[in-house]
Every structure is written in C-alpha cells, then in structure tokens.
Amino acid sequence: AFLRRIDNLDGKLHAYITKTADLAMAAAKKADAQIAAGEKISFLTGLPGAIKDNICTEGTKTTCASKMLENFVPPYNATVMEKIGKENPVILGKTNMDEFAMGGSTENSAFFPTHNPRNLSCVPGGSSGGSAAAVAGGLAAWALGSDTGGSIRQPASFCGIVGMKPTYGRVSRYGLVAFASSLDQIGPLTRNVTDCANVLNAIAGYDERDSTSIKADVPDYTKSLVEDVKGLKIGLPAEYFVDGMDKEVADSVHKAIADFKAMGAEIVDISLPHTKYAIAAYYLIAPAEATTNLSRYDGVSYGARVDGEDIVEMMTNTRTAKFGNEVKRRIMIGNYALSAGYYDAYYLKALKMRTLVKEDYDKAFQKVDVILTPIAPTTAFKLGSIINDPLQMYLQDACTVPLNLAGLPGISLPCGVSSTGMPIGMQIIGKPLDETGIIKAAYTYE
Ligand code: GLN
C-alpha cells in the first residue's frame, strides 16, 4: 500500500531521491514469514519507513542531495541502519534534503525541491524535508532525519508531525555524512509521540565507532508514554518569542501553555539571555566544521571528479561544478572564520558564546524540568519566497539552533493550525539525556 501511494503521490511531493521498492518487498515478505512462523517481532518489523539521504545505506545510493555524491554507493551501513536492520523494517527509500543538510526548506537539494503535503505550494521545511513530507503525506510510516540546527524539528513542525533531536551523543553518528560534527544528531520523524518513542528505542545507545557517543544505559522510552504532567515545572523563556514571529504561532504556543497549566503543570517564567547570539554563533561554528568535513570531497577518494590539467585544477573543477551555492557559501564563511587573524575574532568568540548559551540552560534547569518554546517564527513558507535571501533563511532557526549548541534533546509536536491551514509546532526541551521527560510531556499534551 505504501509503495502504491509513493507511485501515485511522489510525482507531486518529490519526497524521495531513491526508491527501493524491491528491497522493501523482500523485507515485507520476510516480515510476513516471521509473523506466520509466530516469531517474536519488534516494533519496526515490517513497518515501512524512509531514511534521509545522508545516512549511509550499504548497497543503496547515499547522495546527500549533492551532485558531488550523486553516484555514491556506501560499502557499509551507518550504525543506526545496523541497529534498525535487526528488527527487519521495510525501507522504502532515501529521502530528499538540502544539500549536505545545509538549509531549512529542502530547496537546496541539487536535484529538486520537495513540496509540503499540506499545501503543495509551500516548502516542507528542511533540511530533512523529504523525510517529513514522506511521513506527513502517508508515503512512509516513520522516517529518520538528522538535526544540526533544527533539521528534524522544523520540518516536522512545518508538516504537522512529531520530530525529535535526541541529546548529542545519544544516537551514534557513525555513517551519518558529517556536516558539523559537534552539532549533528540523528533522530525520528513520526506521526505521533508513541511512534517517536519506539523508533528512538531502536536507534539509541552507545557505539564505540563514534567517539562522541555517550556510554549510558538506554531506558525503554515506551515506559514514558504515560499521561502525567501534574507538578511538572515548565519553563517559558521570553527570548524565544522573537521579533517578527507570526502572531498565530505565538498564540498557539501560548494556548498549549494554558492547556498544560490546566492539566496540572506549573509554568515558570525563565530567562535565557544569550539566546539572541545563538544564530550568530551557530552560523560560524557550523560552517567552520563543514569547511573541514567537506575538504574530503577532493575528486580523489570517492565522489565525483571533473578532470583538469593538474591536481589543483582537477580539485578546483570538481568542487566548482559539484557543490551547490549554499554549500560554497558555507565553505567560504567557515574558511574565513578559521583563518589566521580572524580565528580569535570569529570562531573563538562563537565558541565562547556557545558556552554562555549552554550555561543559560544549566541555570534554567535548576528551576524547571522542561522548557517550552515555539519551533519557528512562521509556518511553512511558499517555495521560492526566501531562498535567495540567506539571512532571512538563517533567521528561521532562532528557536532550534540553541539546543544543538548546548547538546540538549528537543521534541517538536503540533500545537495548532494557522488560518491558512498550515500546521504550527511547538518545542519541548529537556535536560541532557532526559528524552524520557520530554516524551512524557509531549505524550500527555498530544
Ligand atoms: N537550517 C540550519 C542550517 O541551514 C539547520 C540545518 C540542519 O539542522 N541540518 O544550517
């Protein structure tokens, strides 16, 4: 049924870059046989899902929506693929994204933009826009995405589904094509909080192949699927209701706050004063790390090559032809911020700001259990409307990037609908490794 839906609708949505119908059918038949034989099956067994195209899948193209990796077939699986593979899910294909996960609308894909299933003239958000559109459009029951500065949470919000960025280190990054290694994290995009907890169960845990992976026990997240927010202290930071935020977005989040209060939660006003510097810090740190990570695309080891007279010309030709404009912009910003003479003024300053952002949260979490905020200042915008205005695009990330800087977990879930019929999302932020706390709060609200 899912494959049929993909056939019928993906021509409009363009959620998938690569479809793996044959592999999907084989897995489905195997799952049928497992069930028929009375085998004990797991949550994901036979459940059709989609994988963002920056997560390495052995034998299946992993393009990062870039011409650089257009024909790259990884010889190995990412750890998350190995982990979910044990449950035999049905993988329907690899989903569209902003090139190398740089963007917030999926319009930076080198191949085609994805459309929002709630309104085809709007973006699905990004960079995991293909995963969000697939789940929201019923073209997958669940999906994996990656979140460096909001790329799971913002598209989930734009498409009216649930998305979670786990604590940095909770899910292995081994086999996730690196964008900004100190910020990247893989997580689930699902139709509801129950599915989110189940998918997180399948992917979370220590991995010796990821040096930043956290050695800590993984709880059974489905145990947090209980309705109970009595006495829960929810922090409300004024700084997240940024200038230019749609009134409807702010109103919906405030309505959710009132609902939580009615259910017995205690609302505490808090201040996270360095929030206003988070975008500037992020847009120095992320490009700086990207500059280093993307230096591997040199036309030699793997990926595309465009020939030249000598090696320097070959590298130049390759990178000129195969990287898109946003990727080039980030490489230039990153190199600038890291160069001698500017390192102290930009990169080092950004690192200091990152610490201050984290300390704001540390202080707040002495008083509250979770923090509730909007996800983005607006609902899904029209395709083409801000793609030529990078600054405008970056400002969309005001509520999502601070968590990545601090490494905290955050869940995005629907809390309203705009007058134009577009979904509005809110974010619940947790203490480090307190995915359980935010799942419980989200489940109760949902
Ligand atoms: N929109 C942000 C950026 O362009 C976040 C991207 C992400 O989380 N991968 O960098």
Residue among 386, 397, 404, 412 to mutate when testing ligand 1 (max atoms within 8 A of CB): 397
How high is the pLDDT of residue 302?
85
125 lines ligand 1 (CB under 6 A): no
Q: Rounded to the nearest 5°, which phi and psi values hold at 261?
A: -60, -45
Distance 412 CA to ligand 1 centre (A): 15
**Cα gap 130→146, rounded to integer Å:** 11
Residue among 327, 391, 401 to mutate when testing ligand 1 (max atoms within 8 A of CB): 401
CATH superfamily of this structure's domain 2-224 = Amidase signature (AS) domain (3.90.1300.10)
Report DSSP letters for 347-366, one per residue. IIHHHHHHHHHHHHHHHHTT
How high is the pLDDT of residue 242?
86
Distance 148 CA to ligand 1 centre (A): 6
148 lines ligand 1 (CB under 6 A): yes
155 lines ligand 1 (CB under 6 A): no
383-395: b (≥16 Cβ within 10 Å) or e: beebbeebeebbb
Mean per-residue pLDDT pooled into runs of 10, the chain (446 residues): 98 98 98 96 97 98 98 98 98 98 98 98 98 98 98 98 98 98 98 98 98 97 97 97 93 98 98 97 98 96 94 98 98 96 96 98 98 98 96 95 98 98 98 98 98
How high is the pLDDT of residue 54?
98
Distance 28 CA to ligand 1 centre (A): 34
369 lines ligand 1 (CB under 6 A): no
Could you identify the atom of ligand 1 that is nearest to the CA of residue 330? 10
Who's near 263: CB < 8 A, 6+ residues apart?
A: 229, 230, 444, 445
Q: Atom 4 (ligand 1): residue with closest C-alpha?
A: 103
Could you identify the atom of ligand 1 that is nearest to the CA of residue 103? 4
Token digits of residue 243: 């200038």
Enter the pTM of the model.
0.98
Distance 304 CA to ligand 1 centre (A): 24
Beta bridge partners of 188: 144
184 lines ligand 1 (CB under 6 A): no
How high is the pLDDT of residue 166?
98
286 lines ligand 1 (CB under 6 A): yes
How high is the pLDDT of residue 243?
86
Contacts 24+ apart (CB under 8 A), 268-271: 268/233, 268/234, 268/235, 268/236, 268/367, 268/368, 269/235, 269/236, 269/238, 270/235, 270/236, 270/237, 270/364, 270/367, 270/368, 270/371, 271/237, 271/238, 271/239, 271/360, 271/364
Residue among 52, 95, 98, 164 to mutate when testing ligand 1 (max atoms within 8 A of CB): 98
Q: Atom 5 (ligand 1): residue with closest C-alpha?
A: 149
Token digits of residue 331: 């490489």
54 lines ligand 1 (CB under 6 A): no
How high is the pLDDT of residue 84?
98
102 lines ligand 1 (CB under 6 A): yes
How high is the pLDDT of residue 435?
98
Could you identify the atom of ligand 1 that is nearest to the CA of residue 128? 9
How high is the pLDDT of residue 326?
98
Could you identify the atom of ligand 1 that is nearest to the CA of residue 283? 10
287 lines ligand 1 (CB under 6 A): no
149 lines ligand 1 (CB under 6 A): yes
Coil vs helix vs strand at 207: coil
How high is the pLDDT of residue 330?
98
Distance 278 CA to ligand 1 centre (A): 13
> Among residues 91, 62, 86, which one has the least CA distance to residue 74?
62
Catalytic residue numbers read 52, 127, 151
| Domain definitions of the chain by residue range | 2-224
Beta bridge partners of 370: 234
**Cα gap 67→124, rounded to integer Å:** 22
Phi-psi category of residue 100: left, alpha or beta, with phi > 0 → left and psi -120 to 50 → alpha: left
